[in-house]
């Protein structure tokens, strides 16, 4: 889970001031958004969710497919899906505050590195009420919609007759397979109707 939870000034309201907690070196920052979500890679296994009151047969996920391999620390030393055969207890530790010093004489623009490429073994898999669909790299890229610079979506279900017009709870599961640690995603939103 990648989040800013614990910042006393960041309560989710439109007039809150995030990043003003003890862990930030600049209290004037006040940045009121963040790119938070659930990070996963090829070793993370399935994420299973129950979506209540699906009526119109529409399910869409918003993901960020541009994260660097170093962003996913939970599975960093895993060598298999779900770390099977080698589980250990990990205790959370607080990291020292990291501050960035900006030079007033540096006028160059520092752009982020391009996102990691998809490996040939990449698969994106999802299940709707137990029925698994698997996309290879080319299929996934043809289904993924890049709506804006960092807004990437994949429609998992678009069948108005799926529920017969009645509200029903739908089980949805997603995972990424292949690529090990070299490709990371972050799930940020799940939309349904």
Q: Please say if the pLDDT value at position 166 is more than 80.
A: yes
93-102, 127-136, 143-152: which range is least confident on average? 93-102
- Name the class of domain 39-82+115-192: mainly beta
Query: What pLDDT shows up at residue 96?
Result: 40
Name the average pLDDT for the chain: 77
In this prediction the pTM is 0.70
12-16, 85-89, 104-108, 182-186: which range is least confident on average? 104-108
Query: What pLDDT shows up at residue 88?
Result: 46
3-state secondary structure of 136: strand
Span 177-186, pLDDT tens digits: 888 878 888 8
In this structure, is the dihedral angle defined by the CA atoms of residues 178, 183, 184 and 185, taken in order, positive or negative?
Answer: negative
Q: Please say if the pLDDT value at position 56 is more than 70.
A: yes
Cα distance between residue 1 and residue 120, in whole Å: 27
Query: What pLDDT shows up at residue 110?
Result: 52
Residues of the chain with pLDDT > 70, as a percent, come to 61
Query: What pLDDT shows up at residue 93?
Result: 40
Delimit the domains of the chain by residue range: 39-82+115-192
Q: What is the mean pLDDT of residues 108-130?
A: 81
User: What is the distance between the terminal CA atoms of the chain, rounded to a whole angstrom?
Assistant: 25
Residue 177 and residue 42 in contact, taking contact as beta carbons nearer than 8 Å: yes
């Amino acid at each position: 889970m990648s989040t800013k939870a614990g910042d006393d000034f960041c309560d989710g309201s439109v007039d809150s001031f995030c990043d003003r907690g003890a862990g930030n070196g600049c209290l004037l920052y006040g940045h009121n958004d963040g790119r938070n979500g659930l990070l996963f890679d090829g070793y993370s296994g399935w994420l299973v969710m129950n979506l209540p009151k699906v009526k119109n047969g529409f399910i869409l996920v918003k993901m960020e497919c541009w994260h660097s391999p170093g962003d996913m620390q939970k599975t960093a030393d895993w060598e298999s899906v779900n770390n099977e055969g080698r589980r250990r207890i990990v205790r959370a530790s607080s990291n020292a505050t990291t501050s960035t010093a900006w030079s007033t004489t540096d006028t160059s623009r520092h752009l982020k590195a391009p996102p990691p490429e998809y490996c040939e073994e990449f698969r994106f898999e999802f299940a709707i009420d137990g029925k698994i669909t698997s996309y290879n790299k080319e299929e996934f890229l043809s289904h993924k919609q890049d709506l804006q610079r960092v807004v990437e979506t994949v429609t998992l279900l678009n069948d108005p007759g799926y529920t017969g017009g009645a509200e029903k709870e739908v089980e949805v599961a997603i995972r990424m397979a292949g690529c090990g640690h070299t490709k990371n995603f972050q799930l940020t939103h799940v939309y349904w109707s």
